[in-house]
Chains A and B, each alone.
Chain A
Amino acid sequence: MKVFKELYQYREFLYTNVKKDIRGKYKASFLGVLWSFINPLLQVVVYAIVFPYIMRVQTPNYLVFLICGIIPWTWFTSSLMNGTTSITNNANLIKKVYFPREILPISVVTSGMVNFFISCIIILIFALFGGTGISWHIVFVPIVAIIQYLVQLGFAFILSAINVYVKDVEYMVNFLLNLIFYATPILYTADMFAGSKFAWIFKINPMAYIVDSYRRIFYAHLMPNFKQLGVLFICSIILLVIGYSIFKKLERRFAEEV
């Protein structure tokens, strides 16, 4: 309970940190905040041009299909990459000021969420003009987003804390994210691997469930699979508790090690 009380006390710090993250990052560029939306869009364009050529994609409305995967994935990578370095990049703050350390990873994941919700508008625009249309199912987006938030926060706690002591973590995260990108059905459908010896990868990959849920909502106009999401929710809580306790344990020597 003390945790929440302190986080509540420092809520303005969380708010200004998120604001700095979102608005400060691109402030020196001409397009400013727009870059956080242009980047995933450009990525979509590249895949949409390249992929149909190298693989025979039979997915209808491939562009919409793609963007439903890329936008949540952008949030996932930014949370994990920036989350990992959230403590080490703020070394001067950690060494000089007392504040609840957990605010740093929390604000990274939170600012990613703000970006994600704004990006959902892009998904809707694509869905509207890309041939699939929009349905009432989008009311379930926040539920999926909360679960995604918890999963990412759990990972961000663990990775940011370990990265203080073992700086190699951030390089490994970079590589692993690249790997997981291809192990997540973003560019292709999971059905393509049904019955193959790789099908188990989608079973243990939380992002596979999350991307699938967004696709059901935006692309297929179906109810998300609540049974799967329920299990994922429980797993994410467990991950979060473990992650937070690791963070708390390692936190004591942050100022000496960063």
Chain B
Amino acid sequence: MLKKDIAIKVTNMTKTFRIYGDKAFTMKERLVRGWRKNSRPEERTVLKNINLTIKKGETVGLIGVNGSGKSTLLKLMTKILYPNKGKVETNGKLTSLLELGAGFHPDFTGRENIYFNAAIFGLTKKEIDARLDKIIEFSELGDLIDSPVRTYSSGQYMRLAFAVAINVDADILLIDEILAVGDQHFQEKCFDKLEELSKSDMTIVIVSHSLGSIERLCDRAIWINDGVVAEDGECHKVIQDYLKECA
């Protein structure tokens, strides 16, 4: 069990993916040449021996170049992926916003889709009922909420999805590159909401390439480079070092 003030703990964790070529080809090859040892799929290590501790109430930014393993790390924390070695432990109710509008059905109304989407996050009907007005108000959709989602513009769609996601009330919130939602006004609103949440005792982990927003929201940044933690510490300093390295 984790200590009470720790939200996420990653210990000696390694993650590898199997890389397949064309499966049909591999099958034929195997039939012709027999099951040889070297016909096993190639393995790629994405994260190597990661150790991290994130305390309750912290807001942490994960930065790094494309393909460095940030999103994979986030998925491991959500238990979408499982580590090959080591452990990932979390403490409290966890919600991940890796994709907005998961489970939306275009032919149902916005109101019905709020239920679909929130239910995927593990909310019960009672809990959704209690949040319904807040969600509709945040989305600013007004009467549109009773029209089928397929009639929405992509911006309206995202607004509804974000409104649901942000009102789930988790202890731990994991966010992957979804900060730019809707028009200027709505983006500001989302950002203010996130800022408010980061000051509460919610634990937030954000993956983003928008270093400005990371610096505004987070007090700590972790720089992942090529599957290892390159630097972990005060937000401004880590970002400066990261920029220096990239330049």
Contacts and interface: CB of A to CB of B under 8 A. Distances in A.
B140 interface: no
Interface string A151-188: 00000000000000001000000000000000000000
Contacts of B96: 96-98
Interface in B150-170: none
A130 interface: no
Interface in A84-115: 92-99
Contacts of A52: none
B108 A20 contact: yes
A9 B122 contact: yes
Interface in B125-140: 125, 128
Given A20-B108, A28-B107, A92-B102, A97 B18 contact: no
Contacts of B80: 94-98, 255
A97 B105 contact: no
B246 interface: no
Interface stretch (B55-63, B113-121, B201-209): B113-121
Interface size class of A (residues with CB under 8 A): 20 to 34
Interface stretch (A10-18, A140-148, A211-219, A223-231): A10-18
Contacts of A96: 80, 96, 98-99, 102
B92 interface: no
Interface string A20-35: 1001100110000000
A11 to B, nearest CB: 7
A123 B99 CA distance: 44
A11 B119 CA distance: 8
Interface size class of B (residues with CB under 8 A): 20 to 34
Nearest to B93: A9
Given A97-B99, A97-B102, A255-B75, A16 B119 contact: yes
B98 A12 contact: no
A10 B98 contact: no
A93 B120 contact: yes
A252 interface: yes
B79 interface: yes
A47 B105 CA distance: 36
A16 B96 CA distance: 20
Contact of B122 (A10, A15, A17, A167): A10
Contact of B116 (A20, A92, A253): A20
A252 B18 CA distance: 13
A13 B127 CA distance: 13
B81 interface: yes
Given A92-B102, A93-B103, A97-B99, A12 B119 contact: yes
A191 interface: no
B124 interface: yes
B35 to A, nearest CB: 16
A12 B124 contact: yes
B49 to A, nearest CB: 20
B103 A27 contact: no
Nearest to B20: A257
B128 A12 contact: yes
B17 A256 contact: yes
A94 to B, nearest CB: 8
Contacts of A9: 122, 124
B191 interface: no
Nearest to B15: A256
Contact of B82 (A11, A24, A27, A253): A253
Contact of A13 (B18, B99, B119): B119
Given A97-B96, A98-B96, A256 B81 contact: yes
A255 B78 CA distance: 12
Given A92-B99, A97-B96, 6 more contacts: A15-B125, A16-B115, A28-B107, A96-B99, A97-B99, A252-B82
Interface of A: 9-13, 15-17, 20, 23-24, 27-28, 92-99, 167, 252-253, 255-256
- 7 interchain residue pairs of minimum CB distance: A96-B99, A13-B119, A27-B107, A12-B119, A96-B98, A252-B82, A16-B119
